[in-house]
Chains A and B, each alone.
Chain A
Amino acid sequence: MGKTVHIITSPVMGTFYRASAPDKPPLVEPGQSVKPEDIVCMIESMKIFTEIRCGHTGVVEKILVENEDPVMKNQALMEIALR
C-alpha cells in the first residue's frame, strides 16, 4: 500500500534555507516527525523571510532542494509522509 505524501511548495520565488539563521542547525532532517505548526524551512525573497509551516502531521520523507538554492513560486520543497 502506497504512503500518502504531502508536498510542501514555495509560496514565492526566492532562496531556500533549511535553518532559521546561518549559525543554527537545520529546522528538520529526513526521518523526523513533524506536526502541522512546525516550521520546516525558510524562504527569503527580496530580504523578507517567510517561515514555511508543515501544515500536516507526519514524517519528513525527502528534502528536494539544497540549502541556499534558488526556488520558483510553487516549486516542490519537501515531501511529508502523512500519518
Chain B
Amino acid sequence: MLFKKILIANRGEIALRIIRTCREMGIPTVAVYSDADRDSLHVRRADEAVHIGPALSRKSYLNQAAVIAAAKQTGADAVHPGYGFLSESAAFAQACHDSGLTFIGPSARTIARAGDKSAARQTLMELGIPVIPGSGDVITSPDAACDTAEKVGYPVILKAAGGGGGRGMRIARSRQDLAAAFSVASAEAGAAFGNPALYLEKYIEKPRHIEIQILGDQSGSHVHLGERECSIQMRYQKLIEEAPSPFVDEPLREQLGSTAIRIAKAFEYTNAGTMEFLVDRNRNFYFMEVNARVQVEHPVTELITGIDIVRKQIEIAAGRELGLTQSDIRFDGWAMECRINASDPADNFMPSPGKITSVKFPGGPGVRLDTHIYDQYLVTPFYDSLIGKLCVWAPDRDQAVRRMKRALDEFEITGIATPIDFYKKVMTHERFQNGDLDTHFLEQMDTL
C-alpha cells in the first residue's frame, strides 16, 4: 500500500477527480468541506469527510491548521492539494512535512523557488533558457524605458509591477510611442494598485500559449508528456485547451520538451508540473512560468497518453520510480477540453452564481466529463466559477472538433448562465477549425 489514507485539501471537480483515482488504487480518502459545501459530491464520494470551517476560503480551504488537523484526526498519511487553494503554498507543503504528512506535490523548496518569478527568470536566463526579453527590474523613467526598448527591440509592452488585469498595460511600437505610453501607464498603475512602478518586456505579436506537462520522480528522472495548446483565453483565463497543439511539429515538440525537462532539473522538480511558454509565429518560444501542481487541463494529456497523472502523482510522492523513459511516452489521437464556468458571455463573462434548476449531461463515444454539479445544485459565489470540464477524444483534430460540438449540443444547464452556447460558436468558427489560434482569438472572434 502506497498510503494508508489520503486527505484531499480541495473541493469541486478536482476533489472528485482525485477521489476517483484513489478508489481505483484502493486508497481510502478523506474530504474536507466548508459550510457552503455540506451537500457537495466530493463529501459524498470520499470515505470520510471533515468540516473545516465557514464558507469563506480564507477560513476553510486556505486554513492550513484546520486542514492538517483534519488529516491527523482521521489518520491520513498524505495530503493531495489539487489546484488553487494551498497547492502552491511552500509554507503548507512544509507544514505537512513537519506534521509527518506526505504532501503530494513538489518539495516546499521547489515551490518557493519556482514561485519567485524574478529569481526563477534569472536562474533560467543563466542556463541559456529563453525568457521574454525585458527589463527584469522595475523601470522608473521614460528614458530608462527607451534604453531597454532599444536593447530588446520594438514593439514593447509596459506592465504594472503592482498587479495585472490589463490596467497599467500599454504597447509601444516606437520611441515616441513609448515616451507617451510610459506616463499614461504609470499613472494608471498608480491609480489601480497604489504603485506606479512598471516593467518593460518585448511584446510578442499574436502569441500562442503552449505548455509542457512533466513528471519527475525522487531519484531525479524526468519525462515530458507533450504539449497542451491553451491559446483560447479571455482576460488571461484559459477556456479551451487541446493536446497536441495544431501548431507544434515534431522538432518543436522535442525542443519544448527537452527545455521543460531542463527547467525541471534546474528546480530539482519532483512530481507532476507544467512549464508554460509563449510561442511566436516564427516558432520562437519563451519561458513564462512553472505551475507547481496538477493543472485544470491535465485530462487532455491523459486522453492522448493513456497516463493517469493523478495516479503518477501519488506513486511519485510515495517514492516509487517513474518506470517510464521518454521513448515510452506515445501520443494517440486528439483531445480537447472546454471549461464550463458559471459565467455569462453576454455580460463580459461576469460570474453567474445561482441554483442549477436542471442539467442534462453529454455522453457517448469519446466523451469525458469531470464535474461536481447535479440537478438543483447551488453554485455559490464563494469559490472559482469552474463547474465542470467537458473533454473529448477523437483520432484527429477535425473529428475532435465535431465531437466537441456534438457533446456541447447534448449539454443542457438551466438556471445559471454558462458559456456552452458560446463554445458551440467557437467550434464552428473557420479560424478555430483551421487551428489558427492565438491568445487574442476570443476578443477578436466576432470580427474575424
Q: How far is the CA of A1 from the CA of B343 in the complex (A)?
A: 45
Q: How far is the CA of A68 from the CA of B56 in the complex (A)?
A: 8
Q: How far is the CA of A68 from the CA of B54 in the complex (A)?
A: 11
Check A45/B56 contact, CB under 8 A, given A12-B350, A14-B353.
no
- For A22, the chain B residues whose CB sits under 8 A away are 58
- A46-B351, A46-B385 known; 9 new pairs, CB 8 Å cut-off, are A12-B353, A13-B381, A14-B353, A14-B381, A15-B56, A15-B382, A22-B58, A46-B353, A48-B350
Q: How far is the CA of A4 from the CA of B94 in the complex (A)?
A: 57
Q: Which of B354, B381, B383, B385 has the most CB of A within 10 A?
A: B381
Which of chain A's residues 5-49 have a Cβ closer than 8 Å to chain B? 12-15, 22, 44-48
Q: Which of A44, A46, A68 has the most CB of B within 10 A?
A: A46
Q: Across the interface, do B342 and A46 meet the contact criterion of CB distance under 8 Å?
A: yes
- Complex A-B, nearest 3 residue pairs according to Cβ-Cβ distance, in ascending order: A46-B351, A46-B385, A45-B381
Which of chain B's residues 347-402 have a Cβ closer than 8 Å to chain A? 350-351, 353-354, 381-385
Q: How far is the CA of A70 from the CA of B54 in the complex (A)?
A: 11
Interface residues on B, range: 10 to 19
Q: Which of B55, B382, B383, B384 has the most CB of A within 10 A?
A: B382
- For B351, the chain A residues whose CB sits under 8 A away are 12, 14, 45-46, 48
Which of chain B's residues 301-358 have a Cβ closer than 8 Å to chain A? 342-343, 350-351, 353-354
- For B381, the chain A residues whose CB sits under 8 A away are 12-15, 44-46, 70
Q: How far is the CA of A14 from the CA of B398 in the complex (A)?
A: 40
Check A13/B354 contact, CB under 8 A, given A46-B381, A46-B385.
yes
- For B343, the chain A residues whose CB sits under 8 A away are 46
Measured between C-beta atoms, what is the minimum distance from A67 to chain B in Å?
11
Check A47/B383 contact, CB under 8 A, given A15-B56, A68-B56, A70-B55.
yes
Q: Show 11 residue pairs from A and B whose CB-CB distance is below 8 angstroms, ordered by the A residue.
A: A12-B381, A13-B353, A13-B381, A22-B58, A45-B381, A46-B382, A46-B383, A47-B385, A48-B351, A70-B55, A70-B381
- For B382, the chain A residues whose CB sits under 8 A away are 15, 46
Q: How far is the CA of A13 from the CA of B36 in the complex (A)?
A: 14
Q: How far is the CA of A48 from the CA of B354 in the complex (A)?
A: 16
- For A46, the chain B residues whose CB sits under 8 A away are 342-343, 351, 353, 381-385
Q: How far is the CA of A9 from the CA of B415 in the complex (A)?
A: 22
CB nearest to A14 among chain B residues: B381
Check A47/B384 contact, CB under 8 A, given A15-B56, A70-B55.
yes
Q: Across the interface, do B353 and A45 meet the contact criterion of CB distance under 8 Å?
A: yes
Q: How far is the CA of A45 from the CA of B58 in the complex (A)?
A: 14
Measured between C-beta atoms, what is the minimum distance from B385 to chain A in Å?
4
Q: Give per-residue flags for A44-60: 1 if the beta carbon is below 8 A from chain B beta carbons, else 0.
A: 11111000000000000
Q: Give per-residue flags for B46-72: 1 if the beta carbon is below 8 A from chain A beta carbons, else 0.
A: 000000000110100000000000000
- For B350, the chain A residues whose CB sits under 8 A away are 12, 48
- For B353, the chain A residues whose CB sits under 8 A away are 12-14, 45-46
Measured between C-beta atoms, what is the minimum distance from B396 to chain A in Å?
36
Q: Which of B55, B343, B351, B385 has the most CB of A within 10 A?
A: B351
Q: How far is the CA of A15 from the CA of B34 in the complex (A)?
A: 15
CB nearest to B349 among chain A residues: A48
Measured between C-beta atoms, what is the minimum distance from A68 to chain B in Å?
7
Measured between C-beta atoms, what is the minimum distance from A48 to chain B in Å?
6
CB nearest to A11 among chain B residues: B350
- For B56, the chain A residues whose CB sits under 8 A away are 15, 68
Q: How far is the CA of A44 from the CA of B383 in the complex (A)?
A: 10
Q: How far is the CA of A76 from the CA of B353 in the complex (A)?
A: 18
Measured between C-beta atoms, what is the minimum distance from B357 to chain A in Å?
15
CB nearest to B54 among chain A residues: A68
- For B354, the chain A residues whose CB sits under 8 A away are 13
- For A12, the chain B residues whose CB sits under 8 A away are 350-351, 353, 381
Measured between C-beta atoms, what is the minimum distance from B382 to chain A in Å?
7
Q: How far is the CA of A13 from the CA of B384 in the complex (A)?
A: 14
Q: How far is the CA of A23 from the CA of B186 in the complex (A)?
A: 25
Q: How far is the CA of A68 from the CA of B60 in the complex (A)?
A: 14
- For B383, the chain A residues whose CB sits under 8 A away are 46-47
Q: How far is the CA of A68 from the CA of B382 in the complex (A)?
A: 11
- For A45, the chain B residues whose CB sits under 8 A away are 351, 353, 381
Q: How far is the CA of A11 from the CA of B267 in the complex (A)?
A: 44
Measured between C-beta atoms, what is the minimum distance from A70 to chain B in Å?
7
Q: Give per-residue flags for B225-258: 1 if the beta carbon is below 8 A from chain A beta carbons, else 0.
A: 0000000000000000000000000000000000
- For A15, the chain B residues whose CB sits under 8 A away are 56, 381-382
Measured between C-beta atoms, what is the minimum distance from A50 to chain B in Å?
8
Measured between C-beta atoms, what is the minimum distance from A10 to chain B in Å?
10
Q: How far is the CA of A47 from the CA of B165 in the complex (A)?
A: 13
Measured between C-beta atoms, what is the minimum distance from B316 to chain A in Å?
30
Measured between C-beta atoms, what is the minimum distance from A20 to chain B in Å?
10
Measured between C-beta atoms, what is the minimum distance from A46 to chain B in Å?
4
